[in-house]
């Protein structure tokens, strides 16, 4: 069979797909993982942490082969101002994330997923094993993950394939795409309990940029 396709990425020859350069460009992928300090102040982080004591009956226990943690969904509380504060900070930083990479024109109007605080107790099997955050048709509406750390601990977020460890620090924001190129884990803390707050930016129905 004649060669049908041939360029810098792949070729089709002898009924078999052949990758000319199968290695991912790690530097390009690493540039899509962004870390920024000071998105929330230490005082603001404490304010969010206090919600765990204010709404003990709303805390859910999540336990599976992949993950184990305690979670408070802020949308089950009466804390709309705190939800809006967090969402506005994330949306502002996300806009800068795409603008700095000259990608803003490809991002349509979007919404965000419910805001959750996750608690990983120290010296337990509480962790989130390696995974990706976009894995089926429902989760495919996600296009950017946002995590804010609420305290210091040694339970890093680890992108093993990229050689990146994000160390928890109050008010530190971590942004990254949710797709298969970015497997990551939430390592179990051993020095103190770990608290994070997170959401994802999601596509809205019928908001394509090419309409």
Q: Which parts of the chain fold into alpha helices (H)? A: 26-30, 42-49, 51-54, 80-100
Percentage, residues of the chain above pLDDT 90: 80
pLDDT digits (tens, 9 = 90+) for 158-189: 999 999 999 999 999 999 999 999 999 999 99
The two tokens of residue 202 are: 């999601």
Query: Whole-number mean pLDDT of the chain?
Result: 90
Under 8 Å CB-to-CB from 80, ≥6 apart: which residues?
A: none
pLDDT digits (tens, 9 = 90+) for 131-165: 999 999 899 999 999 999 999 999 999 999 999 99
The two tokens of residue 108 are: 């349509």
Q: pTM of this prediction?
A: 0.88
Domain-by-domain residue ranges, the chain? 25-203
Give residue 26's pLDDT. Answer: 79
Pick the CATH number of 25-203 from 3.40.50.300, 2.60.120.620, 3.40.50.620, 2.40.40.20: 2.60.120.620
1: pLDDT strictly greater than 50: no
Report which secondary-structure segment, H or E, holds 73: strand 67-73
Measured CA to CA, the distance from residue 207 to residue 211 in angstroms comes to: 8
């Amino acid at each position: 069979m004649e060669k049908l396709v041939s360029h810098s990425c792949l070729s089709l020859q002898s009924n078999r797909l052949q990758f000319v350069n199968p290695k991912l460009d790690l530097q390009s992928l690493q540039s899509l993982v962004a870390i920024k300090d000071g998105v929330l102040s230490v005082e603001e982080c404490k304010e969010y942490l206090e919600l765990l004591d204010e709404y003990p009956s709303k805390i859910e226990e999540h336990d599976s082969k992949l993950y184990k943690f305690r979670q408070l969904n802020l949308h089950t509380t009466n804390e709309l101002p705190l939800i809006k504060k967090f969402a506005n900070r994330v949306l502002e930083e996300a806009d800068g994330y795409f603008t700095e990479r000259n990608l803003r024109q490809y991002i349509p109007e979007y919404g965000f997923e419910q805001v959750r605080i996750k608690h990983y107790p120290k010296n337990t099997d509480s962790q989130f094993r390696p995974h990706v955050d976009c894995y089926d048709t429902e989760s495919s509406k996600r296009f950017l993950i946002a995590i804010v750390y609420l305290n210091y601990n040694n339970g890093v977020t680890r992108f093993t394939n990229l050689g990146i460890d994000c160390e928890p620090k109050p008010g530190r924001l971590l942004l990254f795409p949710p797709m298969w190129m970015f497997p990551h884990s939430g390592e179990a803390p051993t020095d103190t309990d770990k608290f994070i707050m997170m959401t994802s930016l999601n596509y809205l129905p019928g908001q394509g940029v090419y309409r």
